[in-house]
Amino acid sequence: MKQIVLLLTTMFVLVITQGCYSQNSSAQKKSAMDTSNNKKNPVYSNTDSTKVVMTDEEWKKLLSPEVYHVARQKGTERPFTSPYETSHEIGTYYCAVCGNALFKSDTKFESGCGWPSFYEPISKGSIIYAPDNTYGMQRTEVMCGRCKSHLGHVFEDGPKPTGLRYCINGVVLDFKKAQDAEKAYNAKEKEE
Ligand SMILES: [Zn+2]
C-alpha cells in the first residue's frame, strides 16, 4: 500500500513539474520571437549598461555556436547570409550577446559588401575599437561597448555624413522594431 501511495505521489509531482515546464518553454518561445539569441542569458538587457565580463567557458554555455564563434572567437559569418543585410525595417539593432543598443535603422545602408552596414553607431560608448592586423590587412575591429563581443570592422569608405562603413556580422545583432508611435512621430517630422 505504501508503495502505491509513493508511486501516486511521484506521478503527481511529475505531472506538476511537466506542467510548469511546458509553461516555461512557451514563455521562452515568446521571448525568443523578440530577440533570438538571449534565451537563458542572464546578462542580456536592453537597458542595463553595466559592463559584462565573463570567461569564454561561461559564454560558451550561454550562446549558440554561431554567435559564440563570431562574438568570442572573432569569426566572420558567410557574406549575404544575414536577413538584416537588406532589411529596411525601422527600429534599433542591439548586441545579440548582451542586449546593448548599437545602431539605429536610419544609419543603415546597403553597401553591397554582404554584411549589414551602418555609417554611425547609436552613441559613442556603444562601440569600442581596436586595431586588427590579421590576414595581412590593416583594419579596425569594432566590439560591443558593454560586453566586448566582436561585431565586425569599420572602414573609411562609407557614405556621408561620417564617411564610415561599419560592416557588422548579422548573427551578433538583434533587431527590435520601433514602436508604432515612434514611427508615426518620425513620419510626421519628415513631412514638416
Ligand atoms: Zn554586447
180 band by pLDDT with thresholds 50, 70 and 90: low
Is a pLDDT exceeding 60 seen at residue 58? yes
Measured distance CA(91)–CA(85) in Å, rounded? 14
Least confident of 64-78, 121-135, 174-188: 174-188
Give me ligand 1 centre to Cα 179, in Å. 23
Measured distance CA(137)–CA(132) in Å, rounded? 8
Averaged pLDDT for residues 159-168: 98
Q: What letter would DSSP give residue 12? A: H
Q: Please tell me whether 98 is known to bind a ligand.
A: yes
Q: Give the per-residue pLDDT at 69.
A: 98
Q: What letter would DSSP give residue 81? A: -
Residue 168 φ/ψ, nearest 5 degrees: -120, 135
Q: Give the per-residue pLDDT at 191.
A: 63
Q: Is residue 167 among the annotated active site residues?
A: yes
Percent of the chain with pLDDT over 90: 70
Give me ligand 1 centre to Cα 22, in Å. 30
Residue ranges per domain, the chain? 56-183
Q: Give the per-residue pLDDT at 179.
A: 78
**Alpha carbons within 13 A on the beta-carbon side of 52:** 26
Measured distance CA(88)–CA(102) in Å, rounded? 16
Q: Which residue in 167, 168, 172, 173 is the catalytic one?
A: 167
CATH class in words for 56-183: mainly beta
3-state secondary structure of 180: helix
Q: Please tell me whether 144 is known to bind a ligand.
A: yes
Q: Please tell me whether 147 is known to bind a ligand.
A: yes
38 band by pLDDT with thresholds 50, 70 and 90: low
The three grid cell numbers given for residue 80, joined into one nine-digit string: 549575404
Residues linked to residue 155 through DSSP beta bridges, in sequence order:
165
| CB 92 within 8 Å of CB 179 | no
Give me ligand 1 centre to Cα 126, in Å. 9
What does the pLDDT look like over 104-122, one tens digit per residue? 999 999 999 999 999 999 9
192 band by pLDDT with thresholds 50, 70 and 90: low
Report the run of H or E that residue 68 belongs to, with start and end: helix 65-73
